[in-house]
Each structure stands twice: as structure tokens, then as C-alpha cells.
Amino acid sequence: MTGAIDSNDITGLVLAGGRGSRMGGADKGLQNFNGMPLALHTLLRLQPQVGAMMVNANRNLSAYESFGAPVWPDGLADYAGPLAGFLTGIERCETSWLVTVPCDTPLFPADLVARLAEAAGREGAEIAMAAGLEDGQLRTQPVFCLLRTDLLESLVRFTHGGGRKIDAWTAQHKTVTVPFDAPGDDPRAFFNANTLAELHQLEQR
């Protein structure tokens, strides 16, 4: 189905449901970035790009709720990874499209959603996935994903069958990859802070 996708028909989901194991078990989304919790920074960056917002978190729910968006924990047990967040988001979503953004990549593009939506609409795709520069190479960024919410049944089947890899699931559907490597694009837009040291490094940019 080709055609323009209105930003009001897209719900943004901040993925903050991980264990934070590389941060010593700290709740990554609540670590400060420029004086503000990472997940809140992410939420405020994504909010102008979409029609509605949600957060996926599995602990400290009241802290996340204070950001002013609905907060939903994983329906799958044992921190099943980003796809568990995707599943939660699609189940709760009231729009035709969901866009996912991890809480630990605070510099993602301010036009991320517009470019994903343009490509999905143009190609008649069910999923649009960002690709950003890493060490000079263009690599897909599977957690930056725009997807149709009518893929719920497919995702339930995949995750309940034990599937956990995003690209193994997206490969089953018409997916367009959207490069963010134009001259004006920030080469570190998709740099994610896995450790506190990396987070401080990003702050000092």
C-alpha cells in the first residue's frame, strides 16, 4: 500500500526495558545525560516527530511515568530483548504505525520518523529500518524501526516461537532500509551509550 504516512498516525515508543548489564545493572534510561534522564531526553526528541508517545520499561515504572507518557512493561518474561518491547508497543498502539527508538542513543536524527515514513510510503513497505554510519560503514540499526501495527500476529508467532533477533523477524516482511549518511547527517547520530564512560563521552561532544 503506497502513499504518504501522516505523523499523527505514528506512535513513538522509547525502549527502556533492558537489564543495563553493561552499565553494571543500572537502569540505563534513568542515567543522566546533560542533566536529564536519558529516556526523557529521548522521549522529548521523538515527541515532535509523532502523534502519540509510549515508554517500554520493566522496572522503576513510577520514575518513567513521571515523564508524562504511558509506560508499559514487557509481556514476555526475563528481559526478552527489544522485540519484547516491539510486541508490547504494537499491542498497546492505537495508530496504524509504531516507531521504536532505544533510550541509549540520545543524538538520533530529528527527522528520523519523517524519513522512515517517506521511504515506507514510497515503497509500500510494512517496515522501514534506519541505517547509520559506524566506523565509516553504513550499518542497519534494527532498533530504529517504523512498523505497521497489523504485524502483531506475525510478531506474536515469532516471539512465542522463541525468536529474539529483530532482523530475523523483519526479513519475513517487506522492509525498506533508510540510509542516514547524507552530507548534513551527524555521523554519530546512532552512537549508543552502553557504559557510563560512553555516556560521559557523548555529553562532552
| CA nearest to 89, candidates 75, 110, 107 | 75
What distance separates the 2 farthest-apart alpha carbons in the chain?
45
Mean pLDDT, residues 112-129: 97
Q: What is the band of 199 on the pLDDT scale with cuts at 50, 70, 90?
A: confident
Report yes or no: 13 and 99 within 8 Å, Cβ to Cβ.
Answer: yes
Answer yes or no: is 1 within a domain: no
Per-residue pLDDT reduced to its tens digit, 164-173: 899 999 999 9
32-47 pLDDT tens trace? 999 999 999 999 999 9
More confident residue, 100 or 197: 100
Whether pLDDT at 1 is above 50: no
In-domain check, residue 159 = yes
Question: 178: domain range?
Answer: 7-203
Count structural domains, the chain.
1
Summary mean pLDDT of the chain? 91
CATH number (domain holding residue 126): 3.90.550.10
Residue 56 lies in a domain: yes
The lowest-confidence range among 60-69, 92-101, 189-198 is 189-198
pLDDT of amino acid 27: 87
37 vs 33: CA distance, rounded Å: 6
DSSP assigned state of 49: G
Quick one: average pLDDT of 194-201? 83
Q: With respect to residue 2, please indicate whether it lies within any of the assigned structural domains.
A: no
Reported as a single tens digit per residue, the pLDDT across 57-94 is 999 999 999 999 999 998 777 756 889 999 999 999 99
- Confidence category of residue 174, pLDDT binned at 50, 70, 90: very high
Overall average pLDDT of the 92-109 stretch: 96
Report yes or no on 131 lying in a domain.
yes
Please report whether residue 43 resides in a domain. yes
Alpha-carbon 2 to chain mean position: 23
Q: Is residue 39 part of a domain?
A: yes
pLDDT at residue 80, as a whole number: 63
How many angstroms separate the CA atoms of 35 and 24, rounded? 20
pLDDT, residue 202, reads 84
d(CA 95, CA 148): 9
Average of per-residue pLDDT across 91-100: 97
List the beta bridge partners of residue 15: 56, 102
Q: Identify whether 153 is part of a domain.
A: yes
User: Which residues 6+ apart lie within 8 Å of 203 measured at CB?
Assistant: 33, 34
Q: Is the pLDDT of residue 17 over 90?
A: no
Beta-sheet pairing, 127-134 with 175-179: parallel
